[in-house]
Structure 1
């Protein structure tokens, strides 16, 4: 299991940095083939941790979830789900999954077990469904596992309109305490105005029942021609989404353009501003807009200029990491680290860059037994963060 030789020294040096971050293009790819040890200690600002490399041959990983029997499912964007048990790859992959539209950022994306999986056995995925030619559509489906076979497949919702290419697909899935399913969907990149248009699905956070029905209290169900599943809009490319169970809150991290990545508290019916307001600019340095605030549009809880390319995220709830409890951890793709946001309720305080140069961190997750895991692109890693008492 291999990693960049310089990583350990850089990680040890990366204690607390208060940042408004670094440059991003979220489709950058960086590879490394230089070896170091599989397990090593890293001193962060508040605690000493062991970084345990569990697997190092991932190809464009995206999401992970755990089942009650201890198995972990991990998605790869090319359309596969790897099965792990006791922190080891079993050599098995889920069979019978739908074909995916794998282009750029599109493909098989997130995976989540239903909160009541032990009773109902449902597993949910978000993926880019092929629509012919070079077009795809973000789709949510669910299935059950029989051995390693995906059976009883049910497509719950397909976003519209279908879109050419593979830019800005989002896409995360979370459940709240009432088992509503929230999923994110990007603006598709070449048409930022999608995010302000309630007649299409793109650049939005959506909310559905766990069987795909549209909740009657969604904010735009009575608005003519609006997509009824929309929960919020004005979200550029939300690749991070997490549910804060203790406080019944949904948090989102989204890519800005060149600058302007955002951490947002997601609330019913609100407009998060893209592309009318932003702290970023076009990749050629020209302005997107001349305003960063507007009445009726939400401000981010914190933002990053230049960008770090925010991605998958988690909230630390485990007693295993007492110094981080309540903080938000966000994967950084372009800047290749885990960004810890010190939270005070809904206020973001200082930030810390952790595990600098570990790779393009696609997702950070907390397991049911309270340990933190991260997956990376380029270096292809699954790592576990183990606190040293």
Structure 2
């Protein structure tokens, strides 16, 4: 953080919010948060408004043009909100998901031309008869509240046992290409360096799932043609900067070594050959943090904050945050407001400390910041009041 800036201590939560694991017994409802906090020498005063407090394991969110908000739950549901209130309705007819550990129904995104074609995209862990699963991108349309015209576009194989490191986020660029992330599946880290499988990679496809002819490995014998980048451990955050045509990504390290990366065509981001993290038992993963031909992160976190979803602030409602990246932190239970100078990391501020395991943070079409949490089960809205 630059030395000429002083950040006020956030006084957002009057009391600690009890934390419980998603697999444990249901705890009493969390008290709504109704707090304000000042940031950046109080140039921006924010009111935190709790909209909902009964989420279980939310993952992604998006907004329809009619103002409805869709929130995915990892167990395989999509909840419908209207005017910042849960309607009690859910999308019907969704595919069965492999709901194991980190796997399940993950991200959701609208086609950039949704008003014309009506396509909604989801990332989910598709279950196979041998009890394996694979990250899959599906699209569908809505008929009332029912998912119709369902099409599985691409499955990131091979399918895998267990439920670790499935990714997955979905973004579109200015040319309408779809990018999605897929983790290395956990128990074989070198998947991320192997171009013959889809794990530990960022992928790029057309909006119908077919492969663009200019993908970097499309002519490489044996390589998965959808690969855009590789050496990505477990990327759970992707955001597209429309103005500068840049893709930003965050991924989990092991014990330490969470990364913020600028994602560029064909590049190798190093996992597990180079990393700033170590094994969970404290032993080294590797003895090097740099290697020729492998990208360095723009920033890394030691200890891990457990990075997850992210958004780029473009709204005029938060003038001193404009151009910042907001990164959800699961383990450290906050939102990291990351300041950039172009593509260079400048510093960061912790927002909403101890709110719970923040799974996603997003900017709505009308310019407001929303966040959803696990364990505490909250959906909150950040309202600028000065």
TM-score by length of 1: 0.92
The alpha-carbon distance between structure 1 residues 374 and 258, as it changes in their structure 2 partners (threshold 3 A), is same
Which of residues 86, 90, 109 in structure 2 aligns to 1:89?
A: 86
Residue deviations 1:194-237 (CA, integer Å, cap 9, x gap): 00000000000000000111000000000001000000000000
Q: 1:211 to 1:35 in 2, by over 3 A?
A: closer
Q: Give the deviation of 1:131 after TM superposition.
A: 1.1
1:142, distance to aligned residue in structure 2 (A): 0.2
CA RMSD of aligned residues (A): 1.8
Match of 2:207 in 1: 210
Distance 1:29 1:360 in 2: 15
* Contact persistence 1:32–1:378 (CA under 8 A): no
Alpha-carbon distance in 1 for matches of 2:123, 2:30: 34
Do residues 337 (structure 1) and 334 (structure 2) align? yes
- What is the deviation of 1:32? 6.4
Question: How big is the shift at 1:138?
Answer: 0.4
Task: Give the match's secondary structure for 2:116.
Answer: helix
* 1:124 counterpart = 2:97: no
Q: Which residue of structure 1 lines up, in the alignment, with residue 226 of structure 2?
A: 229
Please give the per-residue CA displacement for 1:135-173, whole angstroms capped at 9, x wherever unaligned.
Answer: 101000100001100000111001111000000001000
Q: Distance in 2 between matches of 1:155 and 1:124?
A: 10
Which protein, 1 or 2, shows the higher relative CO under an 8 Å CA cutoff with sep ≥ 6? 1
Q: SS of 1:290's equivalent?
A: coil
Q: Residues 256 and 186 of structure 1: is their aligned pair in 2 closer, same or farther, counting only changes over 3 Å? A: same
- For 2:35 and 2:286, the matched residues in 1 are separated by 45
Shift of residue 44 of structure 1? 2.5
Alignment of 1:190-269 (within 5 A): 190-269=187-266
Secondary structure of the 1:162 match is strand
1:305 aligns with 2:302: yes
Q: Is the 8 A contact 1:32 1:379 kept in 2?
A: no
Corresponding pairs, count? 370
Distance 1:209 1:321 in 2: 33
Which of 168, 172, 175 is residue 169 of structure 2 equivalent to?
172
Distance 1:155 1:364 in 2: 26
What is the TM-score of this pair, normalised by structure 2? 0.93
Contact 2:32 2:53 in 1 (8 A): no
- The CA deviation at 1:35 is 5.0
**Alignment check: 8 A CA contact 2:22 2:56 kept:** no
For residues 166 and 64 of structure 2, the distance between their equivalents in structure 1, rounded to whole angstroms, comes to 26
What is the CA-CA distance between 1:333 and the residue it aligns to? 0.2
1:41 matches 2:29: no
* Alignment partners' CA distance in 2, 1:257 and 1:145: 39
Query: Unaligned regions of 5+ residues in structure 1, if any?
Result: 1-9, 15-25
Give 3-state SS (helix, strand or coil) of 1:119's partner.
helix
Q: How far apart are residue 134 of structure 1 and its match? A: 3.0
> Where do 5+ consecutive residues of structure 2 fail to align?
1-8, 14-20
